[in-house]
A and B are shown apart, each in its own frame.
Chain A
Amino acid sequence: QVQLVQSGAEVKKPGASVKVSCKASGYTFTSYDINWVRQATGQGLEWMGWMNPNSGNTGYAQKFQGRVTMTRNTSISTAYMELSSLRSEDTAVYYCASSPYCSGGSCYSGYDYWGQGTLVTVSS
């Protein structure tokens, strides 16, 4: 079965960077885009961007342009999301998500598969 397993919780100081990993199993890693979604405590879902593990191509929400980088290591079926210049407003749970119907930035369905979430806390 498809599984996305994320790295553990992080505590960072303002101005620092954080890198969250998402290890995929149960399917061919390069077949589906990996998307990243975050959720501040008590708030809604916020889409951050996508990465195609085959090509490495990415697409980021305008809000995160210049601060987010999505990469992958195909040899270990793992995707990464790095967010820099952290501020308190970046405190949130970060999810990776995928679908067999999302590739190359085009989706024909919602996200069937989600990681368990990674809490990133930004505090001085």
Chain B
Amino acid sequence: DIQMTQSPSTLSASVGDRVTITCRASQSISSWLAWYQQKPGKAPKLLIYKASSLESGVPSRFSGSGSGTEFTLTISSLQPDDFATYYCQQYNSWLLTFGGGTKVEIK
């Protein structure tokens, strides 16, 4: 199975900050990576697919980059609605896996 490692596990930031979350794959997954946002008690919401493609309706302050084994999710200017947990997911093969998650907290 492909292992996905996210860092940091927790991040404290203020409104307006630029935030970057990293996801590393245990082997190359090309660009087959998605990012999700999850709020307490809710299902995850797709933000980014194919590493850098913004899902329809997602604010442009979210962006993704990377390929192979290293990926990043960047929030250019953190907004109050962005405090949540973020997960990466690889779909390079039919055995999909998620990263462990990054909780973005208010500083």
A59 within 8 A of B: yes
Type the 1/0 row for A90-111, where 1 means its CB is closer than 8 Å to any CB of B.
Answer: 0000010100011001111111
Type the 1/0 row for B10-41, where 1 means its CB is closer than 8 Å to any CB of A.
Answer: 00000000000000000000001011101000
Instruction: Give the chain B neighbours of A115 by CB distance below 8 A.
Output: 43
A89 within 8 A of B: no
Once the chains are docked, how many angstroms separate the CA of A61 from the CA of B2?
11
Instruction: Give the chain A neighbours of B96 by CB distance below 8 A.
Output: 35, 47, 50, 107
B98 within 8 A of A: yes
Type the 1/0 row for B66-92, where 1 means its CB is closer than 8 Å to any CB of A.
Answer: 000000000000000000000101010
The SS class assigned to the B binding surface is loop
- Complex interface residues of chain B between 46 and 67 (CB less than 8 A to chain A): 46, 48-50, 55
In this complex, the member of B43, B44, B48, B55 whose beta carbon has the largest number of chain A beta carbons within 10 angstroms is B43
Once the chains are docked, how many angstroms separate the CA of A121 from the CA of B106?
31
Once the chains are docked, how many angstroms separate the CA of A110 from the CA of B35?
8
- A95 and B43 in contact (CB under 8 A), knowing A108-B50, A110-B89? yes
Q: How large is the interface on A (under 10, 10 to 19, 20 to 34, 35 or more residues)?
A: 20 to 34
Number of inter-chain CB pairs below 8 Å = 64
- A50 and B94 in contact (CB under 8 A), knowing A110-B34, A112-B46? yes
Question: Do A109 and B34 touch (CB < 8 A)?
Answer: yes
Nearest to B99 among chain A residues (CB) is A44
- A44 and B100 in contact (CB under 8 A), knowing A105-B94, A110-B91? yes
Task: Give 6 nearest A-B pairs by CB, closest first.
Answer: A110-B34, A105-B94, A114-B43, A107-B91, A109-B49, A45-B98
A62 within 8 A of B: yes
Instruction: Give the chain B neighbours of A117 by CB distance below 8 A.
Output: 43
Question: Do A116 and B34 touch (CB < 8 A)?
Answer: no
Question: Do B50 and A47 touch (CB < 8 A)?
Answer: no
Question: Do B98 and A47 touch (CB < 8 A)?
Answer: yes
Question: Do B101 and A45 touch (CB < 8 A)?
Answer: yes
Instruction: Give the chain B neighbours of A110 by CB distance below 8 A.
Output: 34-36, 46, 48-49, 55, 89, 91
Nearest to B96 among chain A residues (CB) is A47
Once the chains are docked, how many angstroms separate the CA of A38 from the CA of B36?
15
